[in-house]
Amino acid sequence: MSKSATIEQIRSHWLVLARFIECQWLNLLRTPAYTLPTLMFPIMFYSFFGLLMIRGQAQYLLCTFATFGCIGAALFAFGVGIATERAQGWLTLLQATPAPIAAVLVGKGFGAALFAAIITLIMSVLAAVFGDVRMATGQWAGLLLVMVLGSLPFSALGIGLGMSLAPNAAPAVLNLIYLPLGFLSGLWIPVSQLPGWLQDVAVWLPPYHLAELALHVTGTRSGSALISLAILTGYTLLFVLFAAWAWRRPKTSMNQ
């Protein structure tokens, strides 16, 4: 292949990806019935628990509730989104075109990342104004980066679930996973305030480790974050394998 043909192919791939990201963002922004609850739910929780009820832990709870919000955005954007699009035929139509599946999924991933960024930014403003949280610019930026990147493993989990669940079952099943996972990982109230046996459970859950990374990057937690990074990487690989399996699972009927 000539150099110009290669350049043209790369340009074309980027264009496709840009189109999917654009369509995903436009679709989300034009769906307030989905967008507002997804954004407002964790922000409202943070306002109640992090700023009004539990005093003096605004920075800690900023990290955990931002984690809670980003995980929700990723799980629901992919889990419910893909299950619905599968049932309505949009994914089938895309699968019949030369659309690279990576572009379809990355487009969705950017939707989840956009939500993660918006949730983190709004919470950060609330934390600074009402919770008197003060951090260096690099720490604010670090929190934002951790949340945006941290949505990726949960996006992969969402893909796997979205490809496996019926569209009417997806929201209920995802809530059954999301809410207990958030509570057990110490995202609503600090892990130290949970009973001992629940603290033992928390350290095995991926949201706990994403929150730990956020706590480290904001200087709320000292010491090394390598264990959390390693465990979260392991979970990411596991979720990616699950997503790949669910996506490539042989389809023998038209309704799968």
Partner 1 sequence: MHSKAVATCRNLSHRYQNHAALDDINLDLQPGEITVLLGPNGAGKTTLIHLLLGLVQVQQGTITVLGQAAGRREARQHTGVMLQISGVQDNLTVFELLQLFVSLYPRAMELDRLLAETDLQSLHNRRFGQLSGGQQQRVLFAIALCGNPQLLILDEPTTGMDPAVRRQIWSSLEQRRKRGTAILLCTHDMHEAEQLADRIVLLNHGRVITHDTAEQIRRRLPSQLIKVRSSIQLTSIAASDNVQSISRTDDLLTIYCHFAEPVVRAILNADPDASELEVTGTDLETAFLALTKANPSTVEAKHE
Residues that bind partner 1 (CB under 8 A): 12, 15-16, 19-20, 22-23, 26-27, 30-31, 85, 87-93, 95-99, 250-254
- C-alpha to C-alpha distances, 154 to 70, 137, 151, 183, 236, nearest whole angstrom: 9, 27, 5, 16, 8
Q: Which is nearer to partner 1, 18 or 129 (CB)?
A: 18
CB of 104 to partner 1, least distance (A): 10
We find the least distance from the C-beta atom of residue 87 to partner 1, in angstroms, to be 8
Task: Give me the least distance between CB of 63 and partner 1, in Å please.
Answer: 33
Which residue shows structure tokens 């604010």?
140
10 Å CB burial of residue 173 (0-12, 13-18, 19+) is middle
* Shortest separation between residue 190's beta carbon and partner 1, angstroms: 40
Q: Which is nearer to partner 1, 2 or 222 (CB)?
A: 2
Least distance from partner 1 to the Cβ atom of residue 16, Å: 5
Q: Which is nearer to partner 1, 224 or 252 (CB)?
A: 252
Task: Pick the closest to residue 46 from 25, 75, 68 (CA basis).
Answer: 68
How far CA 150 is from CA of 3, 56, 167, 217, in Å, comes to 36, 26, 25, 13
How many other C-beta atoms are found inside a 10 Å radius of the C-beta of residue 226? 9
Q: How far apart, in Å, are the Cα atoms of 101 and each of 16, 118, 237, 240? A: 11, 26, 18, 14
Q: By the 8 A CB rule, do 202 and 185 touch?
A: yes
Kindly tell me which of 99 and 198 has the beta carbon lying closer to partner 1.
99
Residue 18 CB, shortest distance to partner 1, in Å, is 8
87 vs 198, which CB is nearer to partner 1? 87
Find out whether 140 and 124 touch, Cβ atoms under 8 Å.
Answer: yes
d(CA 105, CA 78): 9
Q: How far is the CB of 101 from partner 1 (least distance, A)?
A: 10
Q: Which is nearer to partner 1, 85 or 212 (CB)?
A: 85
For residue 214, give the nearest of 115, 139, 127 by alpha carbon.
Answer: 139
Max CA distance (Å), the chain: 64
Of residues 6 and 88, the one with the C-beta less far from partner 1: 88
